[in-house]
Structure 1
Amino acid sequence: MQSHVVQSPWHTIGVDLTGPLPKTPRGNAYILVVVDYFTKWVEFFPLGTIKSRKIAQLLHDEVICRHGIPVKIVFDNGAQFVADVFRGTLKIMGIRHRTTALYHPQSNLSERVNRTLKPMLAIFAEHDKEPWDMRLPQLALAIRAAINGSTGQSPAFLMYGRELKLPLDLVYGSETDVLDKLKLSEEFRTHTERLKAILVSAHQSARENLEIAQ
């Protein structure tokens, strides 16, 4: 079966649902997981209901309005994703959709992230009194900042051309940024050229690693 390899950020995204989970004081019992197939960047959205209209609106407002319209969205055959209202929304925006059954299991990224997310949630539930939906931003940060085995880079680096500064860096200090620290008087053009060169190199390396991983 042909593997699914993408060549640029936010060309193809995967969506999946986790739940039902213990209902939180905010009324959330599900998580919508969104993964960019190229950078492996993740977005987690807590949900109280999993109606198709709600999911379509959330993807538009929080994903498309932030990262742009993807070429493809990959999902399973869940009722929320095969409903006319959801597929109709994709059609209006010119987004092609594919079900995971058509792809090699290794490319089913959103479900793989779910398998990582669930034990992380369990650890928080055991050691933290905060409701799980209050901890989703920290869990997303951990995944975004970690080196991904498929690309050889962190999702954050492939997105921004630099590593994220983490809370522990405030205590222990961090390594020198990939980009030289910019002086206030330095022109934005210099920064743009430097960032472009870094991202071109990082994306090429990621493509090569993704092809090997397939």
Structure 2
Amino acid sequence: MRTAYYCPQVNNAERVNRVIVTCIRTLLDGDHREWDEKLPAITAAINAARHEATGVSPHEANFGRNLLLHTDLYMQQHLNTPEDSKVAQDMRLSTIRRIQKLIIERIKNNHQRAKQRYNLRARSVTFKIGHLVWRRSFILSSKADKINRKLEPKFVPAIVKEIIGTNLYVLEDVLNGKKGRYHAKDIKPD
């Protein structure tokens, strides 16, 4: 696995989960036990929503047209396919290819903009195997263990054991010997 602990930036599922939880929170009135009944409506809303990075909805990206709702059917008569199934298939495929090219171009542009913004704050730090470093502590509060997260140290000493890529390091804690993968943003030099 090449994912750092506590680094949601590299896990796309975390971003999707954030959207879903926001939608659930918005649709719930009083009874929180009914959240699962809202999932079909949330799924339709997410599939029909225009994505900022791609400029199209997920449904349009996959099927070459916007998601049709029950209320839209009478307004969408022009979407009826031609009698010849081959012509209809060719039309749909050419639309999907055009949308895919558009999506790829927009993603590249968004990536460049995000890279420029990120690099304004990024620090260039490299650590070598065997170096003593300080890694961010991710201890959670626990009443049973009598631990208050706010009172725990923010960083704990660790030794670099392995380098995976440019920002991912395997560290071994000095205090308890536990190993883990950590992103460079959570590591400070000694």
TM-score for the superposition, normalised by structure 2: 0.49
Greater relative contact order (CA < 8 Å, ≥ 6 in sequence): 1
TM-score for the superposition, normalised by structure 1: 0.44
Larger Rg: 2
